Structure 1
Amino acid sequence: MRYIADELKGRKTSDGKPYEFEFIPKDEFSLSNMKKLATSKYIFLTDNFFALAFMRFNKKTKLIQLWHGTGIFKKFGYDLLEDEQKKTMLKFSNKITNLMVSSHNVIDIYARNFAIDKSKVLPLGIPRNDYYSPEHLDEDYVRQLRGEFEQRYPNLRGKKIVLYAPTFREDPKYNAVFNYFDIEKFIDELGDDYILCIKLHPNYNKFADSANRIDLDELTDTYNIVNFTEYKDEQKLFLISNILITDYSSVMVEYTLLNRPIILFAYDLDNYLENERGFYFDYRKEVPGRIVKDTDELVRVIREKDFNLSNLKEFAEFQFDYFDAYSSKRILDYVLEE
């Protein structure tokens, strides 16, 4: 939304007036916000908001779904809903004017999962990825950004940053990621050159039982690591990191834009494939990095720089039609044209 807003600030309506806009958090819905929705000509969404299924809008109002994820990875949307939810989804989807996606390759899957006609799905890009502008990718900017982090976290100095960003599992046993990721071994083997930074998924605690719930403060006090779980701007973390370790998180899709090593720490791969969401491609063959199943293997891959980058370029080109910072411009050029 920030990038759409920034792009709007530089534009004027056909009669020369600036565009007026407001942000409405969906968990702060109110009568005054209903009025704003009712009197808006354009409504941009970054998530599903099924309350819209039960509202009637002026026929000239355009509802534009920007979504919050990039490309395709895990199954989502209509593929995961129960029958009653699907009925609501259909009512909601009928209101959508256009859905924006990152690539023409993902149109069919997004059309099905939003239950809308393919003609409404446009591969104009994802505004979120406008962050990766030439200015932000510039070596001097990244060096400055890293310096700011090092002032706050001095233990980052002189080390390559390994960012561990696992997703959650619905099974509490496998959700306990640090029963499988041996932090002590990682530090003993790689701590001279690398520092581990962790960013757990917001749903981690939701699926963690009391026996396996992690005290992150205790973890960072015990080991020389940095906990970024509460840090909101993960794109800055991507920029300063040298290696991403994840598993089944869609952050791997976005990280391919940086053309840096990705390691898939999939200690529970067989169980995940059988019992969790599933994927839209062959995970074992098509992920953009090396798959490892234990810390010994993880350490070896990093030490030997055995990252298996062969899939990275092809994976990225499938997920993105554009490698630029102009998605918001393309979207508004299309939406605002009368």
Structure 2
Amino acid sequence: MLLTGFAHPQDRPSATRGSARTLLVLRRTGSRAFGWVSTSPVYLPESTEDSGLAELNHDWAGFTAAIDPTRFRRRGTWMEGEWRVSATVFTGLKRSQGGFQGHWCGTAETPPAHWVADDVRVVPVFRAKHLRLRVERIPVRVRAAVLTEDALELSGAVDGRVGRTAIRLHRPEGGAETVVDLTADGAGFTARIPLAVLTGGAESDEPWQAELVHADGRTEPLVVDERGGPVTGQFPLPGTADLLHVARDRRDALELAVRPPVARVDEITELQDGFVLGGSTPTTGQGPLELVLRHSDGTAELRHPATATSAERFRVTLPAGTATAGGDRLPLRMGVWELLLRTADGTERRVTVAPAAFDALPAAVTVGPKTVKLERRWLDTLFVDSSSVLTAEERSAFAQHRLRTVDYPAAGHGELREAVFYDVFGGRGYADSPGAIHRELVRRGVDVEHIWAVNDAQGQVPAGVRTVRVQSPEWYEALATSRYLVGNTHFPDFVERRPGQVVVQTWHGSLLKRIAHDVENAWLADAGYLEALDHETPHWSVLVSPSPFATPILGRAFRYGGEILESGYPRNDLLATGDDALAARVRARLGIPEGRRIVLYAPTWREDQQRDNGAGFRLDLQLDTEAARAALGEDHVLLVRPHAHVREPLPGAGDGFLYDVGDYPDVQELLLVADVLVTDYSSIMFDFAITGRPILFFTYDLERYRDVLRGFYFDFETEAPGPLVHTSSELVEALRDVTAATADHAERYAAFRALHCVLDDGKASARVVDRMLAG
């Protein structure tokens, strides 16, 4: 039996002398018998200024230990009972002892039993923060399950010393119970369970649990033994779409349940950039199959076509990456992804892994800087785990604390280098005003290094730009040593502007809705946002303003007394000058057919719509996309671009009419190709107004948003550069004839542009770069 694992990260390392060695201690419960097992530890030493001591940081330290099962045998007899496993770490004369906890998935979550004889096995169990090895004799082993016309027939091996025994089936929560005779014949047994018993409570899908009942009243689990071949599976039942699931629980005890079918993967092949899965699922039906990947926080869904190779079999290629709306290939976003098999009628089947494929897991491939793994959880549920781009050592609490408090300040004492550090929304990629500033610097041929923060490898940058992983050592170093920091949102809270360093805050929106200290509700204050903002603003060298209207508001809302550069937003140079060649490439990247009118729907976020798990905000789509498709689908396409804070899949996207462009890298390129903009209170209206194209405002919650959530800086109802519509049906009707819908708003539109777009002449990037290089 081989144990492998690691030490969980701690907030602080321990200071110890010399090198360390580790032993595993096996102690039998209720006995003084014990044994030692050597391990092979891997430690990550961290230096300290205290001479004579070495900080041994055990965060993520790995170990392996092999346990010979013959240790549980004495004079030819297996010593039944439970052995507790603990680790003793010796560092010089110092000794510390502790237990083991199971990992959250894989064989450590549901450790497999190890058969050491035909009727004896060693079962690892985690309990009370200790690993325990239970040596147990199994007198009855189920080795076959066959469904007949009216019964489930079980057969297997039985110990000759077993006397009169029966099988008890019970539902712990439901209270139902039945007893079935077990017939022993030599070394084998048979038992017949009528289907009427199993289907009698069809209104409940709670499993029947099986146990042996001996003549003296003793009970023990009825263990499934699949050493000779599969026992578990799902079997069709006459007269119902549900199936009989023959399964085993974490103790390998038999479970029976009447439930909808699942997809069982029994073949797993690793590719260079993904996996091929093969499996079975009853009645794949007519029409296409899809493998659905759904992020565990509910913020993303990916779909891949699957092939029905027969009425009962399917096969699918599962990439370890994804394509964005703009066609970029990126690794899967960090986190756990649930797998579902969706049939043509929309039914989703849970994807499980058959015991025959357990040994193929974990399966792992490397995509860029990430490792993407297939794993199992809850015994047989298959899922995908996309790792962090940071190593385990880099993301530990100890490492991050040290990088912030030691390495970042130390790097700040060195020379500044001629480099520009760019950040867009905390590492989302190449876009917005920082992207425009980069292009202007390249156009001028300024001799600086360009460094771009990218979080979780979820962004691509142009040639000549170096990426750094957010929170990596090189990210901290770049923040401390780059002469120029350019960002469109908040910089990390530990950043302090050095002498000679220029921090350019471009921000990311013009001003209709109130921001920062001007917001009169508790959502921002409760999150500690305003305190963090007050700490950050003194370190800005210059704050970019999009217009004379916005300048005094920005200074007041941010409580910023430094320089405000009234330049216009660099990102809008593209919209002011236009670029027909780029527009054609964007349409091609999106796959929009020629001749289709492009409607871009870009709503803002609502502070009161935070997801229950804290992962961003809900989309709360009020637009009836089916009605829009019916009315506009022949000659329109609808692109939906949620706010950056909104992370939720768009139902129905990808049908040729509805496009989810939430992950398109740069929204300015979407504005470049859009014929009509639909928004609500988003600052995107100010950008799109530069083009002079029509804008419709879908303001279904105007009063609440204005009076409760945010409030406005001007009278939106009288100054909006387009009609306000309050229902989805009104919006669809307006889109059918946009010219007629917007005819009465030409003067408002002109006045809006004169007030808010006066600086949008295509030269904002040049003005910002001039100021930045001036120091």
Coarse TM-score class (shorter-chain normalised): 0.7 to 0.9
Alignment partners' CA distance in 2, 1:271 and 1:147: 36
Task: Tell which has more relative contact order, 1 or 2 (C-alpha 8 A, sep 6+).
Answer: 1
Contact 1:125 1:327 (8 Å CA) reproduced: yes
CA contact (8 A) 2:697 2:725 kept: yes
**Compared CA separation, residues 301 and 91, structure 1 to 2 (3 A):** same
Cα deviation for residue 225 of structure 1 reads 2.4
The structure where strand makes up a greater share of residues is 2
Match of 1:322 in 2: 759
Task: Give the Å deviation of 1:293.
Answer: 0.7
- Answering whether residue 574 of structure 2 is matched by residue 131 of structure 1, we say yes
Q: Of 106, 110, 116, which residue of structure 1 is paired with 2:550?
A: 106
How many correspondences in the alignment? 314
Q: After superposition, give the CA deviation of every residue in 1:308-335 in whole Å (9 maximum; x if it has no partner).
A: 2332222122223322222121112123
RMSD, aligned CA? 3.0
Runs of 5+ consecutive residues of structure 2 not aligned to the other structure: 1-433, 456-468, 611-616
Shift of 1:52: 4.0
Deviation, structure 1 residue 135: 5.0
Tell me the distance in 2 between the aligned counterparts of 1:254 and 1:48: 21
Q: Counterparts in 2 of 1:34-183, with a 5 A limit?
A: 34-52=476-494, 55=496, 57-69=497-509, 71-80=510-519, 81-82=524-525, 85-117=529-561, 120-132=563-575, 134=577, 136=579, 138=580, 142=583, 144-145=584-585, 148-149=588-589, 152-153=591-592, 156-172=593-609, 177-178=620-621, 180-183=622-625
Instruction: Return the alpha-carbon distance in structure 1 between the equivalents of residues 672 and 445 of structure 2.
Output: 33
Change (3 A) 1:288 1:25: same
Does 241-250 or 77-86 show the bigger shift? 77-86
Report the secondary structure of 1:22's partner residue: strand
Query: Residue by residue, what CA displacement relative to the aligned partner does 1:138-175 show, whole Å, maximum 9, x if unpaired?
Result: 4x654x3465257x24xx44321212222233445996
Residue of structure 2 equivalent to 1:300: 733
274-283 vs 262-271, which moves further: 274-283
Comparing 273-282 and 169-178, the one that deviates more: 169-178
Q: Runs of 5+ in structure 1 lacking a partner?
A: 207-213
CA offset at residue 183 of structure 1?
Answer: 2.4
1:262: Cα distance to partner?
Answer: 0.5
Quote the Cα distance in structure 1 between the aligned partners of 2:477 and 2:703.
Answer: 50
TM-score w.r.t. the length of structure 1 is 0.81
Q: Distance in 2 between matches of 1:148 and 1:85?
A: 40
Shift of 1:114: 2.1
Give the drift of 1:288: 1.4
Contact kept, 8 Å, 1:162 with 1:244, in 2: the verdict is: yes
For residues 181-217 of structure 1, the C-alpha deviation after alignment (integer angstroms, 9 at most, x for no partner) is 22233233333443323223343347xxxxxxx652x
Q: Are the equivalent residues in 1 in contact too, given 2:572–2:668 (CA < 8 A)?
A: no
The code of the aligned residue for 2:448 comes to Y
**Cα distance in 2 for residues equivalent to 1:12 and 1:163:** 35
8 Å contact kept, 2:513–2:711: yes
Identify the residue that residue 33 of structure 1 maps to in structure 2: 475
**Mean Cα displacement is larger for which, 274-283 or 28-37?**
28-37
Question: One-letter code of the match for 2:741?
Answer: D
1:233 — aligned with what?
A: 666
Is residue 72–residue 106 contact of structure 1 (8 Å, CA) maintained in 2?
yes
Larger Rg: 2
Q: Deviations over 1:254-308 (max 9, x none)?
A: 1111111100011121222232122211121121110001133223323342212
Structure 2 vs 1, CA of residues 145 and 266 (structure 1 numbering), >3 Å: closer, same or farther?
A: same
Q: State which of 712, 723, 745 in structure 2 corresponds to 1:279.
A: 712
**Secondary structure at 1:112 match in 2:** helix
* Corresponding residue number in structure 2 for 1:211: none
Counterpart residue identity of residue 334, structure 1:
R
Aligned partners of 1:50 and 1:88 also within 8 Å: no
- Aligned pair in 2 of structure 1 residues 35, 262: CA closer, same or farther (>3 Å)? same
**Paired amino acid for 2:588:** E
State how far apart, in whole Å, the 1-side matches of 2:529 and 2:619 are.
30
After the TM superposition, which of the residue ranges 308-317 and 29-38 deviates more from structure 2? 29-38
Deviation string 1:89-132 (CA, Å, 9 cap, x unpaired) is 23321111111111122111101122212x61111121211222
State yes or no: 1:312 paired with 2:749.
yes
SS at match of 1:267: coil
Structure 1 residue 47 displacement after superposition: 1.1
In structure 2, how many angstroms separate the alpha carbons of the residues matched to 1:235 and 1:34?
29
How many angstroms apart in 2 are the aligned matches of 1:292 and 1:149? Answer: 31
1:40 deviates by 2.8
For residues 134 and 34 of structure 1, what CA distance do their matches in structure 2 show? Answer: 37
Output the TM-score relative to the length of structure 2: 0.37
- State the partner residue of 2:636: 194
Structure 1 332/195 Cα, relative in aligned 2: closer, same or farther at 3 Å?
A: closer
Higher helix share: 1
Give the AA of the match of 2:662. Answer: T
Structure 2 residue aligned with 1:244, among 656, 673, 677? 677
> Contact 2:638 / 2:658 at 8 angstroms: preserved in 1?
yes
Matched residue SS, 1:38: helix
Structure-1 separation of matches of 2:653 and 2:477: 47
Structure 1 residues 15-34: Cα deviation after superposition (integer angstroms, max 9, x where no partner): xxx22332235871344333
AA matched with 1:93 = T
More divergent stretch after superposition (84-93 vs 263-272): 84-93
